[in-house]
Amino acid sequence: MTGYRFSCTRLSNKNGSGLLYSRFRKFANDAADAAAARPTRKVKIVEVGPRDGLQNESATLSAETKITLVKKLVDAGCPFIECASFVSPKWVPAMADSSKVMTGLQKWRMEEYRGTSTDTDTDTDRKQVIFSALTPNIKGFTDAMNAGEGAVDEVAIFGAASETFSMKNVGCGIEESLDRFRKVTDAANELGVPVRGYVSCVLGCPYEETVDIAKVAEVSGRMVEMGCHEISLGDTIGVGTPYATIRMINEVKSFVDTDKLAVHFHDTYGQALANIYAALEEGVGIVDSSVAGLGGCPYASGASGNVSTEDVVYMLNGMDISTASI
């Protein structure tokens, strides 16, 4: 990191401002030297656009278009991409072709492994890219595992800290949803497939409004207990503020190690980047984002899109934080 250097002229007057200015210059330059010597921090970005971004779009895209989007994200250097959702097409029709999408991506990836692809305009090592998919129940998990051998590198379960939202989103209350998720994590652990856990409505609910952060922490802890390697804390309707974010994260830390925590912010009130900054200050090192700010939630009326990946990368670059594959 190249630090800012202060070269102000020392002032000399009867009030001693010259001495004060000199001390400030030394302090600022010492701080710049310390920052330059500090190891570059890394943040993992999980690109959720192909799943969370597209599931709420009014237009239905073809599997081929979705595959092209993911390929372009890989070429752009995205190492962690959530590509599909194995849910009932009755409830989320935009994800009805998830098996076809994952099969197509696996075929393309295997061509890269063998060196038979004609696509040579990228430096990204595709062998290191992680493709994930949502699997809310054991049927979804089974479908994901059948979508081309090795197509899905990671699966995700998605719960909530709100009883009403849980009923709307997965058709049952929190307790029953956790029982369902355990079947998924048990099956995934047996096959050696990593599981990511989502907790929705961590800072507000479209039905209950306020959410108890103790419940957020409890659900997060139980997901880790059943085998989730990472917990994504979702501000589903984008009502969070930096202060609320700090309070919530500190509550969750009592149940989950900080290095397992991710944040997932929607940008309804323009608070997403500020909330991410607050989370980073609390030690969180994983951020979900969506290309072009695509997204929303079928079960959260009024929720805007996710924070855009471009804006997150711009902010992190300005903070000298690496977003390379980790």
Active site residues: 297
Separation CA 87–CA 65 (nearest Å): 20
Separation CA 37–CA 55 (nearest Å): 44
Separation CA 18–CA 304 (nearest Å): 52
Separation CA 109–CA 112 (nearest Å): 5
Separation CA 24–CA 75 (nearest Å): 45
For 60-87, give the secondary structure using H, E and C: CCCHHHHHHHHHHHHHCCCCEEEEEECC
State the DSSP code for 38.
Answer: S
Separation CA 210–CA 107 (nearest Å): 45
The alpha-helical segments, DSSP class H, found in 122-173 are: 138-145, 163-170
Separation CA 48–CA 302 (nearest Å): 19
142, 93 in Cβ contact below 8 A? no
